[in-house]
A and B are shown apart, each in its own frame.
Chain A
Amino acid sequence: MSLKLPVYMDHAATTPCDPRVVEAMLPYFTERFGNSGSRNHRFGWEAEEGVDWAREMAAKLIGSTDKEILFTSGSTESNNLAIKGAAYMYEKAPAGSKNRGHIITAIHEHKAVLDPVKRLVKEGFEATFLEPGEDGLITAEMIAKALRPDTILVTIMWANNEIGTINEIPAIGKLCHEKGVLLHTDATQWVGKMPTNVETDNIDLMSWSGHKMYGPKGVGALYVRRHRPRVRLQALQDGGGQERGFRSGTLNVAGIVGFGKACEIAMNEMAADAIRLGRLRKKLEDALTAQIDVSKINGHLEKRLPHITNISFGFVEGEGLMMAVKNIACSSGSACTSASLEPSYVLKALGVGDELAHSSLRLSLGKWTTEEQVDYAIGEITKAVKKLREMSPLYDMHKEGIDLSKVEWAHH
C-alpha cells in the first residue's frame, strides 16, 4: 500500500473526526434539528434526548454525574468560565478594589488560561505564576509553597500541549481540598486519552474539548463539582439561562451529540490506543535520537502523554525544518512559526535555551497513525536535519569545536 501524503502528525493541535462521530451527528442537522430548549414538541424533545445522552457519556468518561457537565464552545470558553466565573464568585473584595483574591497558575499554561488570569490581575486579583523545572512538571509541593490564606483558585493543566508532560493533578487536588481552595484543570490534552475520575483525582473544575479527541470543533465541556464542595460560578454570558444558567445560548445540539459520541468511543478505545501510540512514539524517538547527534527530547521522559514528542535538533531552525519535511504536518517552537515572532514560551519555561527552542519539532500521533507513517517520518526528518546542517554555519562551528555560547553574536 502506498503512503498517502502529507502525513498528519499534529494531533495535539486537532484530530480528525471519527466517522462514527460524524454519523451520530448527522441526523441532528436535518430530521432532529430541534432546539433542545423547546419543551412542548417532539422536535425539542428529540434534540434534548441527544443532549442528555451526550451529557451522560461525558459524565461517564470522567466519573462525574450528568448534572456536573456544562457544554461550551470548547476549552477556551470552559477555561474562561471556570477561572473568571470562580474568581468573581469567590472574590474577597468587590470589583474596583484591590486584593480581591489570589490565584495560582504556571507560566507554561496555555494562553487560554494565562490570559484570563492576567485579566483578573488587572481587575484587582493577584496571581502566582509557578515556574517548572527543566522536566516541565508542576508538583503538589510547588503548589503548597505558593498557597496563601487568600488563595481562592489553583488552575494547572493536566498535560501540557507542547511537550505532553503530566502534572501531579490528583496530589494537587488533594492539597487544594485540604486547604479549601478550588482546583481547575485544563485537561484538553488529557481527557479522552488517559483515564480520568474527578472523584479520585480530586478535581473541582475541568475543561476539555471535542476536537482533541476525534470529536467536532466548536464544542467542549466544563465539569463543575456539585458536592464537597459545591462549586458556584458567576456566568459570563447572559441570556436564556441554558446550562443551568451558567452558559446561556441555544445548545449546539449536533456538536454536543458528536462530543458525546467521541466520549463514548474514547472510553472503550483509549487504553488500547495509548499502548499502541506509546510504542510508536518510542520507535520514533529512539530512531531520531540515535540517528541525529545533538538532539534532545524536551520535558520529563516518563511523566508525559504517550502520543506527543517534542524534540530539539541542534543547529537547525524549526521553520526551515518544517519546510524540509513538508509532507509531514507537525509544529515547531520556532519563533518563525508563531505570530509573535518569539520562540515557544513553554520551552523557555523549561530553561531550554532560545537557540534550542527555535530548533524544536512537536510530533503528535493519533488513533490512525500507522507504523509506516512513523517510518516515513523518521526517514524524512533525518534527511532534512542532515541537509539543513550542511547549510548551517552553527553546525560547522560545532564541528570545529567552537563554543557557540562564547561567540559574540551581532544581535539584530
Chain B
Amino acid sequence: MAYGPKIIDHYENPRNVGNFGSQDSMKSDKRIGVGLVGAPECGDVMQLCIKVDEQTGKIQDAKFKTFGCGSAIASSSLATEWLKGKSLDEGLAIRNSDIVQELSLPPVKIHCSVLAEDAIKAAIADYKKKNGQAVEDHDHDHAAAGR
C-alpha cells in the first residue's frame, strides 16, 4: 500500500516505543494504566501504557508497543504523542477520526485508528480502576469503522 508521508514518518521513527516494566510490575504500579487491545489472529495488537502524575492528574508519559501493519504502528505512535501532557478527560476526548485526519489514513486502514482510540480508553480505564475512580462506559461512536 502506498502511504502518505506522515504514516511513513511515524512508522520509520516511531515515538515513545516501550512500556514501564514487565506486565506484572505495571499491574502493581498505581500510577500506570495499561490498555491492551486487538488480537494476534486479527493481525493487530496494541499495548498503550500511560503514567499519570499524581499531583497534577495529567498524563506525564505514554508508551506503546504494537504488533500490526504500518498504519497500526503509526496510529499508536501518534496517540502516545498526543496523550503526553493531557488530563485524563482530554485523553478521552481523542477521536479516531482525529487520527485518520492527521495521518491521512486510507479508508481500509480506519480500523487501525479505531484500535488506537480503544487503546487510549482502555489505558485510562485501567488507571481509573486501579485508583478507585468511576469508569464511564463509552459508546463506540467511531467514524466509519473499518471492519
Please determine whether B45 and A334 come into contact, CB atoms closer than 8 angstroms.
no
Question: Which residues of the partner chain B approach A393 to less than 8 Å between Cβ atoms?
Answer: 19, 36, 45-47, 65-67
User: Which residues of chain B (22-73) have a CB below 8 Å from chain A?
Assistant: 22-23, 36-47, 65-73
Question: Which residues of the partner chain B approach A410 to less than 8 Å between Cβ atoms?
Answer: 36-39, 118, 122
Please determine whether B11 and A411 come into contact, CB atoms closer than 8 angstroms.
no
Smallest Cβ-Cβ distance to B68: which chain A residue: A317
Please determine whether B42 and A400 come into contact, CB atoms closer than 8 angstroms.
no
Please determine whether A400 and B22 come into contact, CB atoms closer than 8 angstroms.
yes
* In the complex, B92 has a CB within 8 A of chain A: no
Please determine whether A343 and B43 come into contact, CB atoms closer than 8 angstroms.
yes
User: Which residues of chain B (71-111) have a CB below 8 Å from chain A?
Assistant: 71-73, 108, 111
Please determine whether B23 and A317 come into contact, CB atoms closer than 8 angstroms.
no
* In the complex, B114 has a CB within 8 A of chain A: yes
Contact A390 to B37, CB < 8 A, known contacts A323-B11, A336-B69: no
Q: How many angstroms between the C-alpha atoms of A170 and B115 in the bound complex? A: 49
* In the complex, A341 has a CB within 8 A of chain B: yes
Please determine whether B69 and A320 come into contact, CB atoms closer than 8 angstroms.
yes
Task: State which of A323, A400, A404 has its C-beta within 8 Å of the C-beta of B40.
Answer: A404
Contact A391 to B17, CB < 8 A, known contacts A323-B70, A397-B23: yes
Smallest Cβ-Cβ distance to A404: which chain B residue: B40
A315 → chain B closest CB, angstroms: 6
Q: Is the interface of B mostly helix, strand, loop or mixed?
A: mixed
Please determine whether A317 and B1 come into contact, CB atoms closer than 8 angstroms.
no
Smallest Cβ-Cβ distance to A396: which chain B residue: B65
Q: How many chain-B residues does the 8 Å CB contact rule pick out?
A: 36
Please determine whether B40 and A409 come into contact, CB atoms closer than 8 angstroms.
yes
B11 → chain A closest CB, angstroms: 6
Please determine whether B69 and A391 come into contact, CB atoms closer than 8 angstroms.
no
Q: How many angstroms between the C-alpha atoms of A396 and B49 in the bound complex? A: 14
Q: How many angstroms between the C-alpha atoms of A402 and B114 in the bound complex? A: 26
Stretch in A98-106, A171-179, A180-188, A353-361 with 4+ CB within 8 Å of B: A353-361
Can you identify 23 A-B contacts, CB atoms within 8 angstroms? Answer: A316-B67, A317-B68, A319-B1, A320-B70, A320-B72, A323-B69, A334-B43, A336-B1, A336-B43, A336-B68, A358-B40, A391-B65, A393-B19, A393-B36, A393-B46, A393-B65, A394-B40, A396-B19, A396-B23, A409-B39, A410-B39, A412-B44, A412-B115
Question: Which residues does B use to contact A, with CB under 8 Å?
Answer: 1, 3, 11, 14, 17, 19, 22-23, 36-47, 65-73, 108, 111, 114-115, 118, 122, 147
